[in-house]
Structure 1
């Protein structure tokens, strides 16, 4: 079965197509980079073997540096990530406790990550599961159009999204100060496998975990690791499940212990942005109106909308039609909208270090309106005070 042709607009990780690079200890420095006075993060390698194995691609950094010195610009050089991180990841290594030199925007830092979790042989897997490279997705028409699904596809979407909701709820129940995001990932992984699904993020362009956990200033695509959640944190858990050839995607941002009033307002406003956007979904509505609704509500609340991750692989224009499925996923910042990328190539953080929140649902356009395929269930944990009110 073609996994992309039935997936629709639901895989949130597809906005970052560059390969994942793991953070590792970086004791080795490229002599030429040192001579050219390049940033340490572009010149560092974990071992001499790593440096040698990466030389064929790394040496292009030197050419860029020389070009920049005669006025062609330095942005590419400054943003160039060490090829050694990618090499180490493919060799099965992950983060260590030693950090690269980097201009961190907030208080959060990366922690070590645990080994890749196993997938039972009986579980149907997407085409990137084994080697980390999607084959069908990059050239699929679904990068540009929203497919109108047939009844069988819609039913499979319902089943998959129901699993996704139950998995996210299981993860939400364990949130507390002292719990690691890696433990959250374990719960997501095991709950997904128990339901017969595959955790879509796992090994997608080498992403090493089964879900994304984005804490405080992390906007999206945070990698679960050994850091323990602290009282006052906010954490987003983003779950995508692959089941019966389709993906179901959703996420929520949760409070950890006692959270300050500014963070509460941020999370509630982000929730409201999603709700207001869902309310306008029906046949004939322009897709662009979703962004207009979200931007209006966030701006009126003194917050900003992240602009770097719009579309998530889908460039659709035009109007909504019955039978289409897609996600809406507002990412709202307490400060400015701009973001920066951590050296791991995945973790997107706010440029000013202020907090960010997001919520996401997978939706089906019906003849008369919208069906929220990942809707909260009667059994879902009561995590949001405004819903209880």
Structure 2
């Protein structure tokens, strides 16, 4: 079925499944990296696969999802599968759109929306509390697997669904948490470079669903009511159909900064903000449905409302995200240069590594490890 799609839909030529990466290891996230001469102490920096633009993230989609080469369109022959974009938002007013290329009435189904890092890739958008989705059937809104009436008409082939998210400033968000590291604006990236099949990757703990969120979604009989998650003031998601504003299905979105998001402590993860927390454009497809994404700046169906002056196309966020990552690299480099290595004196220290108490510091570089995946 998948092999036949490019014949009818030429833009799906050269369909690809997710790249040859270790991305399916549960509890971890993998991003491509490369050696960096500009960062002698950090040694490695993030990189990407072409095309270098906002698109579906090849390392952040279910293995059964197929994407065209420019990362704009997705499909699957399986049941519900999801993919996230390679660009996430943490504050501000942002917009992207999706065109339903194949769905109602030809076959397959579609859900589109926004999802956090914890949202599972083998389920549709809106499956749990970590994502908000719009359903093509009856235009229902879905959150925590609870469909509710919204538009009361289908999103069908040829329709363009616009999705706008508004989030308060990070300063406001940090004021909602008791986490001292987050309140201090510290970003901590627990990641190490590894080699897998002759490619370099950063391995880091990914954020995982919490028991409180699972209990909120499916309360246990007789269990004590859990504390409701904190919400973001003045946050909302607006929906547009073929450029026409059709409503605001959600307000007061769930907060995402720690302690609302955390890696698995049992695996060694720490509660921290590594800069990837936020909401990402997310698309789900079901049995042959096809969705084409567009992150701007030119729209297939430009919004026809007057309140879009502060709204920004998601493509602008792509460059900001790269700039932020470079800034974090510089901060990490400076921090490591002034980190003392316990137990190393000046006489035996390697070049570029200061002993504890020396004038300049650095961490001893560990040899990169080779990752071997066991067959599951």
Could you state the TM-score of these two structures normalised by the residue count of structure 2? 0.24
Which protein has the bigger helix share?
Answer: 1
Q: Which has the larger radius of gyration?
A: 2
Q: What is the TM-score with the length of structure 1 in the denominator?
A: 0.23
